[in-house]
Amino acid sequence: MKIAGLQKVSTIDYPGEICCVIFLWGCNFRCGFCYNPDLVIKDSEGGFSEGRVLEFLKKRSGKLDGVCITGGEPLMSLDFDFVRKIKDMGFKIKVDSNGSFPEKLREMVEGKLVDYIAMDVKGAKEDYEKIAGVSVDVGKIEEAIRIVDDFGGEFRTTVVPGLHDGEKLKKMGKWMGEVCGGKPKRIFLQGFKGGKGMIDPSFVSKDEVLEEELIRLKDGLKDLFGEVGVRV
C-alpha cells in the first residue's frame, strides 16, 4: 500500500461527517477525464508512511468523525490491518471504489471494516470499456453493484460531454435495476469539471457540466432509482 496524500479535513467527502481523506496511489482504470488530486501534505513534509498517518489520526481523535479512503482505486492495495487500526481509534470508514474488486468489498463488509461505500458507475453496460479506457470484467462490476446496494451505500456517475446523455444514463439505470433485482437505492450525478493533468488531454477543452444540466438529467432517472441526487 502506497499513500499518495492526506487531506487533513473535509466536510464534503463523507456525507454527514467531518473527515480526513487518504489518497492511495494507483488505478486499474484509465478514464480519460481523470486527473490526480491536489495533495494537502507534500513529500517535503515527511512523506506519507502509514505510521505518520496513524499518528496524525491519533491527534484528531474526537475532532474528526471519519476517514475517507480513496484513490485512484484504493482496493488495489488497501491494507486491511491499517483499516482495523483506524477503526480501533473510533473513526468511521468510507471507501470510494470503481467496483472492480467485489471480493475485497465483500471482505470489508463482512469484517465490519467499512461504514460507508461510494461506488463510481461509469455508464451503461455497453459503454463501460470505452469510458474506463481498459478491458473490464463487467461481471465483477455487477457483483459490486449488488454488494453496495445491499449494504446501503451510494452510486455516483460523473456526467461527461460526449460520453453521457439522457438516454445513455437511462440505459445505465435500467441495467443497474436488472442487476439489483429492483430499483437501486441511491445515485448521485456529478458534473465533469475541466482541469490540467487529465489522462486524455482532449478532455481539457470540453465544457463543464453545470448544475442546470444535472438537474435535467436527474429528472429522467427518478423512476429508475429510489433516490437521485446532484452534486456540484
Separation of alpha carbons 22 and 19, rounded Å:
10
Closest CA to 158 of 8, 34, 12, 59: 34
What is the overall mean pLDDT for the chain? 93
174's grid cell? 435500467
Task: For residue 152, count other CB atoms closer than 10 A to its CB.
Answer: 10
Task: Write the pLDDT tens digit of every residue in 181-215.
Answer: 999 999 999 999 987 778 888 888 899 999 999 99
Domain boundaries, the chain: 3-231
Contact in structure between 180 and 146 (CB atoms under 8 Å) = yes
Contact in structure between 229 and 189 (CB atoms under 8 Å) = yes
Residue-level pLDDT at 47: 57
Q: What are the pLDDT tens digits along the chain (232 aa)? A: 889 889 999 999 999 999 999 999 889 999 999 875 444 444 444 457 899 999 999 999 999 999 999 988 999 999 999 999 999 999 999 999 999 999 999 999 999 999 999 999 999 999 999 999 999 999 999 999 999 999 999 999 999 999 999 999 999 999 999 999 999 999 999 999 987 778 888 888 899 999 999 999 999 999 999 999 999 8
CATH 3.20.20.70 fits 3-231, yes or no: yes
Residue-level pLDDT at 36: 58
Q: 201: which DSSP letter?
A: G
Q: 76: which DSSP letter?
A: G
